[in-house]
Amino acid sequence: MKISKRHLLNYSILVPYILLSVLGLIVVYSTTSASLIQEGQSAFQLVRNQALFWLVSLLLIAVIYKLKLGFLRNERLLFIVMFTELILLALARLIGIPINGAYGWIKVGPITVQPAEYLKIIIIWYLAQRFSKQQEEIGVYDFQVLTQNQWFPRSFNDWRFVLLVMIGSLAIFPDLVNATILFLVSLLMYSISGIAHRWFATILAILTTLATVTLTAIKVIGVDKFSRIPVFGYVAKRFSGFFNPFDDVAGAGHQLANSYYAMVNGGWFGLGLGNSIEKRGYLPEAHTDFVFSIVIEEFGFVGASLILALLFFLILRIILVGIRAKDPFNSMVAIGIGGMILIQVFVNIGGISGLIPSTGVTFPFLSQGGNSLLVLSVAIAFVLNIDASEKRAQLYEELETHSSNYM
């Protein structure tokens, strides 16, 4: 008896994804149309590009969902994807266009490709494949299996060396924002690899301590001196605005101060769709990094909370797929994807609210950026395929058990 995967589609993931994507198109139009008209361009230019990426994303979801799940375990395919990614990263630095002082974008006609975005799903895929093969050893020897009793990698095929190359390559752009996200995602994957739970608490405590010490050191040393350090110069302005944005509203604190103004303007129920004041040239990057500030301004805290609730529902459903999965590889991929989206949400909201320095991380689904939407869509496709495959395997197992009972 053959069970088709189309009957096992998880609508509790697909429907929120579609709703958030459509809402994202509306928000992109709302946040970009006014500035595009002022520049003499079509008000639909950016939302049209976003819609094009979404159509491609829907096609990819359909294709990936129909594939046998075994394609994700294909080591040769993963190697080709990783090698291609490194080539794209190199091209982005050599022939890419700079945006806000950082390279990392390749312009192909009207479309701009950002290779660093694709690293998020590639690293989850790679680490899940590596760690899932060592589950029995991890169960006995804990983290020592993954570190091989060595603090530093001593071979090129060590997963830590591979991560160092993949994440470290972003430093040449420089793109410390995505590098930080990838580092956090890697730590998450390490934490769910099967090692003892106490190590997760230890890692979290170490990260919190390092972040506190770093921010304190920058505050004491001074942002001006910190900006002289190579690579870190372009982020120094973000730290300057973080400590007290109202000390320099016209300079370093301009973004964060106007982000506060946008949220205050919105109040409980917002100014209404399209009626934002801050997006009209006052708040830079209103359609990318600070898009949720505009969402609060137009939809209010009530509307923004409902959007967050929908997004958190999607994340929880994705993580639930990972928790229920019997296969370690499937479990790690699903939990890693849910964790990746959750990290982006917290880092973005932390940045626009002043809880952490402004990072430049986009808000999932709502920010303008076709590459980000494409990566999220591929991630959703992976989860849908995993969920359907796990359900089908369980049904086959139950049918076999049921048949054997009657024999």
Q: Is residue 118 part of a domain?
A: yes
When divided into structural domains, the chain yields a total of: 1
Question: Which amino acid belongs to residue 140?
Answer: V
Domain that holds residue 172: 72-196
Instruction: Identify the pLDDT of residue 156.
Output: 73
Instruction: Identify the pLDDT of residue 190.
Output: 83
Q: Is residue 135 part of a domain?
A: yes
Q: Would the pLDDT of 116 be above 70?
A: yes
Does residue 385 contact residue 65 with C-beta atoms inside 8 Å?
Answer: yes
Q: Would the pLDDT of 275 be above 70?
A: yes
DSSP-H helix ranges across 222-253: 223-226, 236-243
Q: How far apart are CA 214 and CA 220, in angstroms?
A: 10
Q: Please classify residue 87 by burial: count the beta carbons closer than 10 Å to its beta carbon, then call 0-12 exposed, 13-18 middle and 19+ buried.
A: exposed
Tens digits of per-residue pLDDT, 22-65?
Answer: 999 999 998 888 788 877 888 788 888 889 999 999 999 999 99
Q: Is residue 205 part of a domain?
A: no
DSSP reduced 3-state for 102: strand
Tens digits of per-residue pLDDT, 347-357?
Answer: 889 888 877 77
Q: Is residue 119 part of a domain?
A: yes
Tens digits of per-residue pLDDT, 156-169?
Answer: 777 778 888 888 87
Q: Would the pLDDT of 89 be above 60?
A: yes
Q: Which two tokens stand for residue 27?
A: 């928000």
